[in-house]
């Protein structure tokens, strides 16, 4: 009897252990289900913080994206993505603190300070999804299709929907994430142009390069333009509408694209950015020989022109389709996983991507697309090489360029003084055009290497300098190409960072 009891103890122990293990697994399943994805195995193990207004969400992972990576050997869209809600970069604008200042995510947008359109979502569907199945999903979730387009950069089509029936973005994204034919679903994020101030200026007089353009001396533009002017290099400007009739832009705008499909009125921001790159009249751009692909993706709201994810997607695809060598993005917003994939695809095609670091201030979370590793992030300095106080900070800053009290073009043959990281980014895009004319075979990694290797260090030498590598020089960068072997062009982490 004693032997029998002793022999049963191991059996009881095993049974008890099994019960505990079962309970643990059930508890784990409930935790995963709390992410609104039916458990980690169902949706790939992405999680996030609860979102006000219903349910939970998956957020972009550090580095600016929550999507699954590319399938081996191709650029196609993976067959399945987790649902995505919330911006990795936090709200757009100053005063947003407490985030990661490296390339990487914050989290959910806060209720009342949303950084996405509150009644729209964007989806992609599995390759085998039929039109009938997509229509059924639309009826089931009370979705009204607003737009759709094929995106060869991604190898898929994207759809923009309006929500009906009082549904919230968070709940709809969570629910659609469980549908087998839905490959990805996310909000339609909001981005803003990064201009802090604009003051009317008197019309410039005299020869090209007005004396008020201190930027020309700072960047040694005159010396660089003895070697290259950016002749015939295509620079896409994704911005508000550009005044192509401004005399300083005569013949510069070679193609136009309206991503908003609405009434377009020339806007000060887009006009100033195009002029900083390629003006050749009373004012002189950094690359006066460059050709501009004008893309209207932002509205004409005074002081805070806005654009959406979907408009920016269409703009990037059009720029790639029309042979852009450089894309200037003087706007900022939250981390957008689909935008991340488009930027990576554009980089792989050899397109140089330049963006404003953002005007969110020193406590802002990283803003995108500048914080994307495929993008050259530009901060702004003044005439005394001091940092623009409202510029974003972080290790993703690549270089600095003048961006305070810049004499710039405005619609109606006018001129303004403008300030912000927007105009600083445009100056760097102009330098990129010079480099590409001088050596057309350069890859994005080569361009970054030339800019950072020849920048003048500002501030204390440290890896996370607020100035990045320092103040760029058009002349030194162009000359560097002839003195050094080409930098690595494969665009690995070191080249991108």
Active site residue 241: no
Burial class from Cβ neighbours inside 10 Å (0-12, 13-18, 19+) for residue 232 reads: middle
SS3 of 333-366: ECCCHHHHHHHHHHHHCCCEEEEECCCCCCCCCC
CA atoms of 302 and 240, how far apart (whole Å)? 11
Omega before 369 within 30 of 0, i.e. cis = yes
Catalytic residue among 364, 422, 429, 465: 422
Q: How far is CA 330 from the centre of its chain?
A: 9
Active site residue 8: no
Catalytic residue among 246, 267, 269, 427: 269
Active site residue 422: yes
Catalytic residue among 81, 210, 221, 239: 239
Q: Which residues pair with 307 in a beta bridge?
A: 191
Q: Which residues are the active-site residues?
A: 239, 269, 422
């Amino acid at each position: 009897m004693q032997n029998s009891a002793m022999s049963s103890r191991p059996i009881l122990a095993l049974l008890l252990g099994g019960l505990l293990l079962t309970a643990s697994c059930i508890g784990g399943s409930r935790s995963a289900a709390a992410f609104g994805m039916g458990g980690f195995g169902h949706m790939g193990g992405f999680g996030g913080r609860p979102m006000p207004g219903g349910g939970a969400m998956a957020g972009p992972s550090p580095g600016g994206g929550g999507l699954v990576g590319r399938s081996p050997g191709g650029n196609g869209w993976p067959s399945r993505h987790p649902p995505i809600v919330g911006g990795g970069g936090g709200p757009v604008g100053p005063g947003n603190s407490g985030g990661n200042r490296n390339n990487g995510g914050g989290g959910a947008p806060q209720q009342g300070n949303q950084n996405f359109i509150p009644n729209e979502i964007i989806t992609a569907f599995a390759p085998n999804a039929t039109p009938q199945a997509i229509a059924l999903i639309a009826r089931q979730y009370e979705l009204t299709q607003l737009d759709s387009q094929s995106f060869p950069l991604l190898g898929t089509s994207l759809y923009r929907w309006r929500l009906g029936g009082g549904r919230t973005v968070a709940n709809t994204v969570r629910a659609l994430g469980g549908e087998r034919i839905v490959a990805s679903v996310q909000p339609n994020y909001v981005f803003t142009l990064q201009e802090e101030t604009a003051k009317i200026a008197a019309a410039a007089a005299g020869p090209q390069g007005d004396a008020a353009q201190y930027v020309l001396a700072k960047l040694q533009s005159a010396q660089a333009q003895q070697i290259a002017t950016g002749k015939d290099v295509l620079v896409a400007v994704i911005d508000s509408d550009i005044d192509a009739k401004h005399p300083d832009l005569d013949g510069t705008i070679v193609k136009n694209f309206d991503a908003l499909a609405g009434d377009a009125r020339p806007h000060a921001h887009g006009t100033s950015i195009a002029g900083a790159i390629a003006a050749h009249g009373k004012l002189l751009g950094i690359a006066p020989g460059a050709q501009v692909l004008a893309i209207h993706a932002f509205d004409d709201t005074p002081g805070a022109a806005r654009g959406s994810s979907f408009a920016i997607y269409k703009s990037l695809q059009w720029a790639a389709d029309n042979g852009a060598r450089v894309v200037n993005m003087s706007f900022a917003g939250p981390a957008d996983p689909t935008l991340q994939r488009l930027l990576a695809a554009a980089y792989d095609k050899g397109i140089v991507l330049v963006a404003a670091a953002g005007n969110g201030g020193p406590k802002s979370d990283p803003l995108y697309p500048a914080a994307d590793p495929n993008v050259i992030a530009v901060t702004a300095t003044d005439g005394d090489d001091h940092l623009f106080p409202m510029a974003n900070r972080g290790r993703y800053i690549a270089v600095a360029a003048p961006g305070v009290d810049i004499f710039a073009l405005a619609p109606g043959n006018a001129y303004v003084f403008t300030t912000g990281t927007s105009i600083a980014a445009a100056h760097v895009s102009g330098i990129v055009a010079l480099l590409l004319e001088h050596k057309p075979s350069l890859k994005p990694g080569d361009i970054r290497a030339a800019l950072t290797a020849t920048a003048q260090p500002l501030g204390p030498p440290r890896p996370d300098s607020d100035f990045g590598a320092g103040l760029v020089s058009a002349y030194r960068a162009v000359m560097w190409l002839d003195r050094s072997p080409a930098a690595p062009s494969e665009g690995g982490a070191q080249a991108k960072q």
